[in-house]
Structure 1
Amino acid sequence: MNALPPIQGQQDSAAATGERARPMVILCPAPQKTERIFTPETLRRLRADFHVVDLDGEPDSALDACLPDAFAVIGQPDLPRERLRRAGKLRALLNVEGNFFPNVDYETCHEQGVHVLGAGPAYAQAVAEHALGLALDLARGISREDRAFRAGRETYVSAGTEDSILLRHASVGLIGFGNLGRALHRLLVPFAPTLRVYDPWLPDSVLREHDVLPASLAETLAASQFLFVLATVTGESERLLGPAELDTVPPGARLILVSRAAVVDYDALLDRVRSGRFLAGVDVWPEEPVPADHPARSLEGLVLSAHRAGGIPQAFTEIGRMVLDDLALIARGLPPVRMQVAARELVGRYRNRPVS
């Protein structure tokens, strides 16, 4: 005999039971947008595996009501110690903006066994490719000569290449060897450069395993025809490159800044570009949007980019896939492997600002 179909009340009860059986994931991704980081398929899979509570745009009281039952939070809402203490089931905080801000009590997260994860690796390839593009532009004057051509000032063959240099076999320096540095390193290998790296957070043995030369900051600056500034901002690295440091960069070098504006003294940087000491490509700025009358806009030795290196559609949708992969692992009692794990010793030292 065929069983009778359940009545509506039984169906509703079964659906509610199913929701309770799945781990609750709170979705509050601001300033990201759900549709930007989750493709329809990724979002469907997330909702199939987890009970997703979408609090985007909802008041803080809604978050407080859900936190006691939450398995994970996608986003980085304010989570002080007293709020985290009420989140006894919380196992993961997945930051999808890209920075670890001081609005979270990270020490309490670690005490309670909460995985604190960031989306930084999703941007690394995009930023690395953009950085390489800036370097090649600076090496050959591509955008400069494009402007000249459009204005009727073009020169042909060798007349416009006096300052051109090759990236192949060049002396290259990387300041920072985290997500960005490692992604860029893979792109630089075919150019067979002499590659020095300054990163005080890594032992020399790790750098040698990547086939790069460990070097001091002074050595990296003084030896680099191409200098890529890739460091994050901490109390120690803020204004790491001031006037004295920039004066050790070789004349005619190419400096590429794609990480954080606060690592460099901008007045000193622009002064040296203006004087013709070296050329620079810059994607990040102390004030964004850059004021209309900013002197950088008129410097010929500068390639300008409006903080667009990492924020491309493929990077955003990769964030959603990374979130889904790591949540699935954590739900199975396994460690996350795709997003950046916030190290207990480092996460409180970051000084990065939100990206608008």
Structure 2
Amino acid sequence: MMRPKIAFAMAADKTKFVFDAEALARLAACCDIVRDTPLDEFNSPAARAVLADIDILITGWGCPMISADVVKAAPRLKLIAHAAGTVKYTLDPAVYAAGIVVTHAADANAVPVAEYTLAAIIFANKRMFEMRDNYRSDQARRSSHALMNEPIGNYHRTIGLVGASRIGRKVAKFLTGFDFTVLLSDPFVQADDPIMEMVELVDIETLMGRSDVVSLHAPSLPATRAMIGARQLALMRDGATFINTARGALVDEAALIAELQSGRLHAVIDVTEPEIPAAGSPLFSLPNVFLTPHVAGAIGMERLRLGQLAVEEVERFVAGVPLEFAVEPALLERLA
């Protein structure tokens, strides 16, 4: 029986560390790798020759759009294993129409996002960013000591999670190890969902009003665009913190900035819309904002998890056993 042939399609400058020597050796043990260098385009004669020869394509960040034309150029293609998060901006419906199976590494990418969120929650409740600034400007620590006597810290605080996504669920699991009350708002969660053992299910208005920290984990859909706006933010307690590691489009940024400029709220923001805020945006300078450049997901050595998951899925596919992270077309639009 012929071994499956495999190739890669991704941007090399965005996928360093995804596949180490061990991962490549595992792929070579079950497949023939037809080209070591990843494809970064699908139109050249060389790229078309690779597409015509492969059964499996491993994709990642920077992969060109897999259009109907690309599918036609790859008549043997049976599996696309995406060694990154969402695939919904990479795949034309022709992929599923051709019977090609798709899997992704969103579960692996969710781990560092959940870790970032946990760290943000702990630091936010202890007002660490404010403590840092106070200490820099007041080395005698008078302002730091005054802040220590405020009702802050991580004991008996209430954390609100908006969305029971892969990341939201991992965050909820992390939070079970702390003295927190964890609220969840998600219209798709039912009473028999396992997450109900870790959270209290409430509507979003209740969550916004009761939480010391609100963390957003919903997918970016037309229905969720600007789901956090002036009305929801106004419900938050004075001194509460808003965390966004999901998508910038979920938040009415003008409304958020208005609340932050008032000094009433704090924010930890990893994602914005546009991806880079406009020059001079208050998000860059407000003292109550901790802004990071979309780094909550896998970076550096964390990317190894993505490659490992993709390799495991390829091994399952070659062995003829069910994939663990197949992406069904009906669920594609609900993915982040």
Q: 1:274-306 CA deviation, whole Å, 9 max, x = no partner?
A: 212221111112234444522112212222222
Deviates more, 1:201-210 or 1:217-226: 201-210
Instruction: Please give the alpha-carbon distance, in whole angstroms, between the structure 2 residues aligned to 1:271 and 1:31.
Output: 40
Equivalent residue number for residue 53 of structure 1:
34
Matches for 1:135-214 after TM superposition, within 5 Å: 135-152=121-138, 154-155=141-142, 158-206=145-193, 208-214=195-201
Q: Which moved further from structure 2: 179-188 or 324-333?
A: 179-188
**Which residue of 44, 47, 66 maps to 2:50?**
66
Can you give the 5+ residue segments of structure 2 that lack an aligned partner in the other structure? Answer: none
Which region of structure 1 is more displaced relative to structure 2, 164-173 or 246-255?
Answer: 164-173
For the 8 Å contact 1:37–1:318, the answer to whether it is kept is yes
* Alignment TM-score, normalising by the size of structure 2: 0.88
Determine if contact 2:10/2:40 at 8 Å carries over to the other structure: no
What residue in structure 1 maps to residue 287 of structure 2?
300
Q: Give the whole-Å Cα distance in 1 for the aligned partners of 2:188 and 2:276.
A: 32
> Are the counterparts in 1 of residues 81 and 104 from structure 2 also a CA contact under 8 Å?
yes
Structure 1 position 129 matched with structure 2 position 112: no
Letter in 1 for 2:58: I
Aligned mates of 2:13, 2:201 — CA distance in 1: 37
Matched AA of 2:25: R
Match of 1:119 in 2: 105
Q: 1:287 aligns with which of 274, 283, 290?
A: 274
1:138-196 per-residue CA deviation (whole Å, 9 max, x = no partner) reads 21221222222223353266412244523332222111112211211122112132222
Tell me the amino acid that sits aligned with residue 301 of structure 1.
N
Larger Rg, first or second structure (1 or 2):
1
1:37 lines up with 2:18 in the alignment: yes
**Other structure's SS at 1:277 match:** coil
Q: Secondary structure at the match of 1:204?
A: coil
1:24 aligns with 2:11: no
Q: Aligned equivalents of 1:91 and 1:172: distance in 2?
A: 43
- Alignment partners' CA distance in 2, 1:134 and 1:29: 31
2:234 aligned partner:
247
User: Matches of 1:296 and 1:43 in 2, distance apart?
Assistant: 41
SS of corresponding position for 1:143: helix
Aligned residues: 329
Q: What is the aligned partner in structure 2 of residue 347 from structure 1?
A: 332
Give RMSD over aligned pairs. Answer: 2.5
The alpha-carbon deviation at position 214 of structure 1 amounts to 2.0
8 Å CA contact 1:141–1:164 kept in 2: the answer is: no
User: Which whole-Å CA distance do the structure 2 matches of 1:344 and 1:178 have between them?
Assistant: 17
Conserved 8 A contact 1:197-1:207:
no
1:237–1:263 contact (8 Å) kept in structure 2: yes
CA contact (8 A) 1:32 1:97 kept: no
1:33 deviation in Å?
A: 4.8
Residues in 2 aligned to 1:222 and 1:216: alpha-carbon distance in whole angstroms: 10
Q: Does 1:105 align with 2:104?
A: no
Equivalent runs, 1:215-226 vs 2, <5 Å: 215-226=202-213
CA–CA distance in 2 between the matches of 1:190 and 1:25? 42
Q: How high is the TM-score relative to the length of structure 1?
A: 0.83
Please state how far the C-alpha of 1:199 moved relative to its aligned partner: 2.0
| Aligned-partner residue type, residue 128 of structure 1 | A
| Bigger mean CA offset, 316-325 vs 157-166 | 157-166
Measure, in 2, the Cα distance between the counterparts of 1:212 and 1:310: 24
User: What is the CA–CA distance in structure 2 between the aligned matches of 1:284 and 1:102, rounded to whole Å?
Assistant: 17
Please state how far the C-alpha of 1:205 moved relative to its aligned partner. Answer: 2.1
The percent identity for this pair of structures is 25
Q: Which residue of 2 aligns with 1:17?
A: none
